């Protein structure tokens, strides 16, 4: 068998930490050699943060009683030697549960009361109010205490029909999806709205986030789960029962919440669980396998996914095999096949995305620092030529040379006013860009959408309201793209003029492409429109539900806008820092030229000594450039093959 998901994820985490350390050491080395301007420093900081804090979220989605919690136990928590997540018969995970690790928070289970649904705040807003959560400390070294504490996620309470309707668990228009009434006419609903588990599990410490979701009725009642958490997951594991195949409720979950309109199913794994129910003692192994294969083929056809993405598994037998160290049973459970698929589909894609981001960042970093080195090299060459021209000249000529350099310096300083004017225009245009993507603009759009959704009656025009909102949001991004192009044109003309007048090598980087953010907007729009099918049309008749839905949307949109602003800000800072670096180098060059003339005037051997110093500096600069190339090539190689063992390169010289 190949390397398991756990082992590959551990390797991925080790690589991320080592790579982040390399970036940090590179920043220190560049700072020591005065190659670190604010833009380069910001680029390195973002790269390091991106690599070090990279998270991988895997969402496990299933209808009730499909063995989802048992599967999580088998894949991630078998090392405890027992079940950790509650996985008894019947409904176990009653509320969405996130498992992750935050070193700043002690090991604990935090539970948000279901009554918070009666208030308008989005789930993300409740995360900022920890005192509203019920907290239970966890002993990660005591599996029994850990498992007993986590059983609380399965707690329920009984409420009246009216209370259930207000909480989103009862719909008169769709009685088939309502929970059963007991003898007293009461309804069983989850006690908790959301659960957060913070434990120092090795995989969670490496950046894995596990999202365990409840069944169809609970998913539909929590808009933020459907339109935010699940779509943002890097992979979704959809669990079905091998004994039942794709049921009506399974198909509803798939079509309403998981099926991608784009046809991209690479991040969707379908698990046909409980294959041990097909292990019939009266059937031959071949007959059993044929039956499993037919179920897999039928499932793939119904869901519209490639057959290789439907994986038959027995989570129960896999967990038992791991706990009892039974390799034969483990192989028969096919659990290792699922782990391999998780490693290939999730980590493979995640590493490619991370590697592409790192490669781009390193390329830009190399280009920016190469310009600084080339400026220094050219200035040294100009100084050498200037000093060679002084050989055999008398004191008067040398004195005139000093006057000429001082005059050049004065003229250069006068040009600073024009540069300041360009910067003022640049910043004014940037403020307009940031205003278009700012919180005030976004709040105005969301207020308009809420007003449209809160009109009385069935929201038959809800899709139109959403469409108009997203059209305006896309229009804002188009305007921002046009304005950044305008800024680039202005900077390009100014930089060409400065290059001609002062011999600079200023070059404006291409404007950030916002296509990715437009794609994010389209995906977000699709997830909302998919969610707003006829199944949730009646929920939208409740003003508080519509408000909660828009709040969830606003949270996602804010994240998209902030990321776009960050990219534009970094691009702008790179242009400004490039100008600052060349201005700084030119001023230093004036100082060095005047210092050289003064030394020549004071000592007969000063000219030869200074020419010798320049040659030594040119050689040192060549060594610096070579070392920088070596260090950046090592980084590119490291990100291209994250699983390879590479020794750190010493940052010396």
The lowest-confidence range among 329-333, 529-533, 589-593, 601-605 is 601-605
Domain stop point among 333, 367, 396: 333
Q: How many CB atoms lie within 10 A of CB 424?
A: 10
Higher pLDDT, 89 or 471: 471
Percentage of the chain exceeding pLDDT 90: 20
**Strongest mean pLDDT among 9-13, 197-201, 315-319, 578-582:** 315-319
242 has pLDDT over 80: yes
pLDDT at 653: 38
Q: Given the DSSP bridges, would you call strands 310-312 and 208-212 parallel, antiparallel or unpaired?
A: unpaired
pLDDT tens across 416-432, in order?
Answer: 777 777 778 888 888 88
Residue 175 domain flag? no
Residue-level pLDDT at 456: 65
Exposure string over 276-314, b if 16+ CB within 10 A, otherwise e: bebeeeeeeeeeeeeebeebbeebbeebebeeebbbbbb
Contacts with 479 (C-beta within 8 Å, 6 or more apart), sequence order: 436
In a domain, 555, yes or no: yes
pLDDT in tens, 184-228: 889 888 899 999 999 988 778 878 899 988 765 566 667 677 667
Please report whether residue 89 resides in a domain: yes
For β-strands 156-159 and 187-190, DSSP reports them as antiparallel
In this structure, the answer to whether residues 458 and 570 fall within a common structural domain is yes
Domain span holding position 14: 1-52+353-381+607-653
Q: Is residue 314 domain-shared with residue 363, that is, in the same domain? A: no
pTM passes above 0.75: no
Residues 65, 116, single domain; the answer is yes
* 579 and 494 within one domain: yes
Note the pLDDT tens digit of each residue in 150-185: 889 888 899 998 888 888 777 766 666 677 788 888
* Eight-class DSSP state of 255: I
Q: Are strands 235-241 and 268-273 parallel, antiparallel or unpaired?
A: parallel
| Residue 220 confidence (pLDDT) | 60
Same domain assignment for residues 576 and 618: no
Query: In terms of pLDDT, which residue wins out, 26 or 648?
Result: 26
Mean of pLDDT over the chain: 82
C-beta separation of 268 from 258 below 8 A = yes
Question: Does residue 78 sit within a domain?
Answer: yes
Q: Evaluate whether residue 401 is within a structural domain.
A: no
Residue 180 lies in a domain: no
Residues 82 and 228 in one domain: yes
CA atoms within 13 A on the CB side of 279: 11
What is the number of structural domains in the chain?
A: 3
Neighbour-count burial of 544, counting CB atoms closer than 10 A to its CB (0-12 exposed, 13-18 middle, 19+ buried): middle
Contact 22, 351 (CB under 8 A): no
In this structure, is residue 469 part of a structural domain? yes
Q: Are residues 198 and 109 in the same domain?
A: yes
Say if residue 114 is in the same domain as residue 235: yes
Confidence band for 652, pLDDT divided at 50, 70 and 90: very low
Q: According to the model, what pLDDT value does residue 484 have?
A: 92
Q: Which among 302, 333, 364 is the end of a domain?
A: 333
Residue 343 lies in a domain: no
One domain for residues 359 and 324: no
Q: Which of 333, 367, 395 is the last residue of a domain?
A: 333
Question: What is the reported pLDDT for 330?
Answer: 94
**Same domain, residue pair 286 and 362:** no
Per residue in 110-124, pLDDT (tens digit) is 999 999 988 878 788
Q: 90: helix, coil or strand?
A: coil
Average pLDDT over residues 458-485: 86
Q: What is the pLDDT of residue 637?
A: 73
Strand pairing partners for 254? none
Interval 373-418: pLDDT, tens: 887 888 888 778 877 777 766 677 778 888 888 888 887 877 777 7
pLDDT at 311: 94
Q: Is the domain of 32 the same as that of 5? A: yes
**Residue 345, C-beta contacts closer than 8 angstroms, at least 6 positions apart:** 235, 266, 267, 269, 309
Q: Concatenated DSSP letters for 429-446? A: HHHHHHHHTSHHHHHHHH
pLDDT at 91: 52
CB 525 within 8 A of CB 428: no
- Spatial distance between the Cα atoms of 62 and 255, rounded to a whole number of angstroms: 13
Same domain, 299 and 365: no
Distance CA 49, CA 51 (A): 6
């Amino acid at each position: 068998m190949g390397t398991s998901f756990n082992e590959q994820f551990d390797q991925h985490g080790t690589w991320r930490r080592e790579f982040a350390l390399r970036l940090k050491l590179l920043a220190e080395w560049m700072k020591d050699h005065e190659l670190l301007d604010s833009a380069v420093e910001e680029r390195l900081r973002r790269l390091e943060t991106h690599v070090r804090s990279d998270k991988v979220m895997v969402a496990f989605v299933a209808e009730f009683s499909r063995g989802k919690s048992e599967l999580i136990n088998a894949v991630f928590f078998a090392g405890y030697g027992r079940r950790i997540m509650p996985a008894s018969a019947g409904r176990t995970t009653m509320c969405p549960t996130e498992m992750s690790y935050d070193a700043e928070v002690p090991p604990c289970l935090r539970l948000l009361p279901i009554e918070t649904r009666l208030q308008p705040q989005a789930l993300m807003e409740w995360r900022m109010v920890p005192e509203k959560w019920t907290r239970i400390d966890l002993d990660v070294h005591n599996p029994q205490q850990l498992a007993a504490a986590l059983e609380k996620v399965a707690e329920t309470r009984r409420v009246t029909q009216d209370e259930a309707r207000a909480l989103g668990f009862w719909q008169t228009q769709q009685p088939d999806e309502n929970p059963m009434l007991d003898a007293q006419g009461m309804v069983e609903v989850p006690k908790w709205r959301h659960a957060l588990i913070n434990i120092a599990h090795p995989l969670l410490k490496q950046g894995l986030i596990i999202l365990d979701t409840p069944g169809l009725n609970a998913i539909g009642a929590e808009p933020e789960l459907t339109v935010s958490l699940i779509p943002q997951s890097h992979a979704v594991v959809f669990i079905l029962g091998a004994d039942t195949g794709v049921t009506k409720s399974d198909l509803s979950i798939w079509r309403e919440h998981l099926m991608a309109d784009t046809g991209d199913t690479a991040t969707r794994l379908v698990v046909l669980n409980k294959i041990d129910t097909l292990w019939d003692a009266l059937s031959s192994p071949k007959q059993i396998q044929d039956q499993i294969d037919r179920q897999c083929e039928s499932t793939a056809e119904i869901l519209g996914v490639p057959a290789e993405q439907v994986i038959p598994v027995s989570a129960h037998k896999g967990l038992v095999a791991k706990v009892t160290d039974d390799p034969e049973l483990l192989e028969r459970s096919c659990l290792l096949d699922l782990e391999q698929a998780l490693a290939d589909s999730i980590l493979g894609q995640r590493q490619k995305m991370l590697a592409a981001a790192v490669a781009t960042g390193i390329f830009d970093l190399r280009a920016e620092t190469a310009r600084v080195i080339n400026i220094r090299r050219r200035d040294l060459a100009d100084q050498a030529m200037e000093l060679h021209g002084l050989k055999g000249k008398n004191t008067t000529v040398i004195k005139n040379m000093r006057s000429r350099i001082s005059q050049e310096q004065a003229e250069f300083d006068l040009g600073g006013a024009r540069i300041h004017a360009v910067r003022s225009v640049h910043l004014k245009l940037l403020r307009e860009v940031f205003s278009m993507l700012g919180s005030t603009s976004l709040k105005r759009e969301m207020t308009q959408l809420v007003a449209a959704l809160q009109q009385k009656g069935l929201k038959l025009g809800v899709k139109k309201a959403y469409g108009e909102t997203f059209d305006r949001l896309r229009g804002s991004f188009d305007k921002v793209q046009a304005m950044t192009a305008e800024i680039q044109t202005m900077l390009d003309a100014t930089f060409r003029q400065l290059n001609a007048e002062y011999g600079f090598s200023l070059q404006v980087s291409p404007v950030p492409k916002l296509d990715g953010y437009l794609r994010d907007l389209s995906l977000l729009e699709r997830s909302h429109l998919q969610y707003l099918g006829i199944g949730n049309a009646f929920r939208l008749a409740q003003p508080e539900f519509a408000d909660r839905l828009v709040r969830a949307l606003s949270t996602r949109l804010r994240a998209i806008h902030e990321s776009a602003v960050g990219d534009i800000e970094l691009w702008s800072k790179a242009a400004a820092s490039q100008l600052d670096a060349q201005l700084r180098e030119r001023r230093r060059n004036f100082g060095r030229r005047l210092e050289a003339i003064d030394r020549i005037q004071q000592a007969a051997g000063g000219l030869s000594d200074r020419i010798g110093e320049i040659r030594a500096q040119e050689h040192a600069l060549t060594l610096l450039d070579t070392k920088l190339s070596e260090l950046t090539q090592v980084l590119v190689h490291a990100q291209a093959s994250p699983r390879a063992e590479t020794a750190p390169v010493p940052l010396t010289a």
